Structure 1
Amino acid sequence: MNIVFTFRPPRMIQADLQTKFPNETFSFYKHIDEARPLHEAEILVTFGSDLTKEHIDECKSLKWIMVASAGIEEMPLQAIKERDILVTNARGIHKTPMAEFTIGFMLNHVKRFAELRKLEQTETWNKQLPLGELYGKEVTVLGTGAIGQEIARLAKAFGMTTTGVNKSGHAAEGFDRVFSIDELISAVREADFIVSVLPSTPDTVNALGTEHFEAMKNTAAFINIGRGDLVSETVLLSAINDEEIAHAYLDVFVKEPLPEGHPFWRHPGITVTPHISSVTERYVPRAIEIFEHNLHCFMDGGEYANVIDVTKGY
């Protein structure tokens, strides 16, 4: 089989794949525009956002797309659906780095590390700076999948109360209680931290509105490591400016990179990070583990990991 990567994993991983699957033809490219002849690819391994409808049309022999990330919203899903091409992704590999990143944000909020750093830079000794703790606080996580459950597990280690939100309100491991998305106002009302790990789907775009921020504690912090289109930028800015919440920690945005001069950059009530919460040196190796499992299934049969329903977008 012709297996085309539109990115280059480390050479050790490339060599390992060739050793484990000696009868398959692997081609590794820095970018999809370098991947020629693309039309011979039977399996495409990609981060997803580089694919267009024209690429799908060109890949006459394509049977399976392995997406080495979780998000697929930028992919030409209609063209893929029409060809009935199998799509799998790397869902689950992000849970450790993203959960740790979330805990880092929460600790930063209660321990006020950013302010302590500024005091250090000005050689100011201020023992009156009020600090808090995570113990006893409540975190509401929008999305109770692998990432959400890992956030809940770590939050429990700090003695926090955990509330989850998912589509139906079904129970999920690590959560003291779970609300449905229709009960979102009730879910955020008592939270000290509201964390979103939701993907971008028709059901989640602008799912968080003015009424939800009005229902939150004015001491609450909002953390978004899912997708930027969960809440409109206008609504979020108004919520912060009107002091409906205390702070927003944002790792994802409607437009990325966040443009120069955007009001988020210098707003004292917003912390901006460059969509980096899932980044770890173990990212690609973990994605390749899923690919290898699915390649064995593709060749010999078995249950695929992380099959995507392109109609639903997840």
Structure 2
Amino acid sequence: MRILRPRCSLGYFLKHFGPFPTSSHKQATQAAAAYLLYLRQSMHYLTEERGRPNAPDYRIYFKTSEGKYISPFHDIPLVAEKELDNDVPAKKTKKSDSEVLYNMVVEVPRWSNAKMEIATKESLNPIKQDVKKGKLRYVANIFPHKGYIWNYGALPQTWEDPKHTDKNTECCGDNDPIDVCDIGSQVCRPGQVIQVKVLGILAMIDEGETDWKVIAINAEDPDAQNLNNIEDVRKSRPGHLEATVEWFKKYKVPDGKPENKFGFGEQFKDKDFAVEIVKSTHEHWKALVQKRSAAGDIECKNVSCRDSPFKCSDDKANAVVQSAPAFGSALPVSSDVDKWHFV
């Protein structure tokens, strides 16, 4: 077992940001307090590794800061709320749905290749590396990109219902939580939970299924206050949206598959449209965990969802994790993962 914890102390803050002059003591104290508050909030969810990295048995399980195991799919709330010192959620201060911050579960850090994902068909839905035809999956490096070009992950408590035909794309959902591309500057780690601002959305059609890609930015990013919609991204980051379409269009081509298609003529929809899609997939998720929609092979075990027949005890959740293989040494990764592909 290996537990990943962010470091959080005043000494750590001073080590990285340096001492402050005596005259700036008040500002330094305020800055340190704000920084430590951010880290404390980011520690609300911890991760525990099981199995061997770069092996089929590798898993990243989630737990609260109190040590209770949870599902990142079902138990982490979609909407991020500010917290008080006693961990009681504060009243919402946002004025509209489009200004709400959402929790994002990071599955894949930017510049990495391993196709990590929430295991929707396993108890407690840990993060694992996708396997196809008995082999671990890695996304190809499509020149000039190295692996994923954003932090990639999902919004918890959302579900793209495979039996629901989207009126915009005329395709059914892909049976997964809705995907998110965080365009912030921080390179995150697998299992990190960050709060993001939704900026827009891209309608990808993957093998006949609707696979929405939400474009968002980490709320703690220095550029977050200046990026409020998809047009802001287009103006301040020339070529970024075009690169995103190109990446999603071609990332499967090295595996012998055709280019992916898109709705709306490959154009991004704005923030308000994106928020409506997020809300819709949240409603589909509610129906899933309340057994109003057929779960199929989706694992809905959770520890906190009201009115859910799938809710389980902390002891049962603990048993799931304890039955997983102990954490071990990482296996080597093939040099083929670093190969350039020109398509």
- TM (norm. structure 1) is 0.24
Greater length-normalized contact order (CA 8 Å, ≥ 6 residues apart): 2
TM-score, structure 2 as length reference: 0.22
- Name the larger-Rg structure: 1
